[in-house]
Structure 1
Amino acid sequence: MRISTRFSDSTHILAFIEIYQNIKVSSEVIASSVETSAVVVRRLMGNLREAGLIDTKQGSAEPKLAKDPSQITLLDVYFATEGNKPLFELDKKTNPDCIVGGNIQEVLGDYYEQAKIAAQRKLNETTLKDVIETILVKQKYKDSQK
């Protein structure tokens, strides 16, 4: 099973739009940074627009964040791109007559719920501004090593 990159790609798109806000950024330009197709970028940007995270104009290469980066959390981006999709999936077909098979779903379900809440809490505490500032710091370090 392939793991979705929609969440990380959407965060990438938002950071790109903010960092390069003073130039025209088409979906093709963004796609070259994400290393995906412009179609995928446009689809993700549609999700971000529907969630109220970006403003776009049809035929214009000028997407803008709809909110200040400090007001956009990674949880906002996650819900915009992944919805309320579970982080973990339980195997529903286990043998109820086995000690393990008869209990594993309930036991793992409790742990999975705790992990989901912890992950959502962390994503809700982290803003797009945090991500952008970290990107810029890492780039400054790379530039200083040249």
Structure 2
Amino acid sequence: MRYSHKLSDAVHILAYVAIYHDDDLSSAAIAASIESNPALVRRLMGALRRAELLTTQQGSATPQLARPADRISLLDVYHAVEADTPLLHVDDKTNPACIVGGNIQATLRGAYAEVQDAAERQMAAITLASLIVDIRQREQQRNHA
């Protein structure tokens, strides 16, 4: 099973732009921090721009947060890059003649919907600002160790 890193990479981009606002904000510099490639960074930045979380100017490496970091939630970023992709997925290929195989999908869809709702409520409560505070605190601790 492949996992999507789009959410964590998008949060990474926004935090990088906020923290390094006066430094090199090129897609190459951000990609080096993510250990990815500039094309991925540009695609994610495009999604963040369309969601009005980031502003960019073509031909200029000067992205900025579109609103204050305390007004950008983890849920905002999730919706920007994952669209309608749920966190959990049901295997649709089960044996309908089996009591489990014939009923597991509907059972799990209900349970997974509850998990999705709870996760989204929690994600809405987590701001980019709080994540940036945590990043800075961890860096301070790392430098003092």
Determine if the TM-score, normalized by the shorter chain, exceeds 0.5.
yes
Q: In the TM superposition, what whole-angstrom CA distance separates every residue of 1:28-81 from its partner, at most 9, and x where no partner exists?
A: 100000000011101110000011001111111111000000000000000000
- Find the aligned partners of 1:41 and 1:87 in 2 and give their Cα distance: 22
CA drift at 1:101: 1.2
- Matched to 1:27, the amino acid is S
Range that drifts further, 63-72 or 98-107: 98-107
- Matched to 1:75, the amino acid is L
Q: Which runs of 4+ in 1 moved over 4 A?
A: none
Hey, what does 1:14 align to over in structure 2? 14
- Matched to 2:17, the amino acid is I
CA drift at 1:133: 0.3
Hey, what does 2:50 align to over in structure 1? 50
Aligned ranges 1:53-132 → 2 under 5 Å: 53-132=53-132
Hey, what does 2:26 align to over in structure 1? 26
Question: Which one has the bigger strand percentage?
Answer: 2
Q: Give secondary structure in 2 for the equivalent of 1:62.
A: strand
Percent of aligned positions with the same letter in both sequences? 46
Unmatched 5+ stretches in structure 2:
none
- Matched to 1:53, the amino acid is L
- Find the aligned partners of 1:118 and 1:101 in 2 and give their Cα distance: 26
The alignment of Structure 1 onto Structure 2 pairs a total of residues equal to 145
RMSD of aligned C-alpha atoms? Answer: 1.0
CA drift at 1:103: 1.6
- Find the aligned partners of 2:115 and 2:4 in 1 and give their Cα distance: 18
- Matched to 1:118, the amino acid is A
CA drift at 1:25: 1.2
Unmatched 5+ stretches in structure 1:
none
What TM-score results when the alignment is normalised by the length of structure 1? 0.95
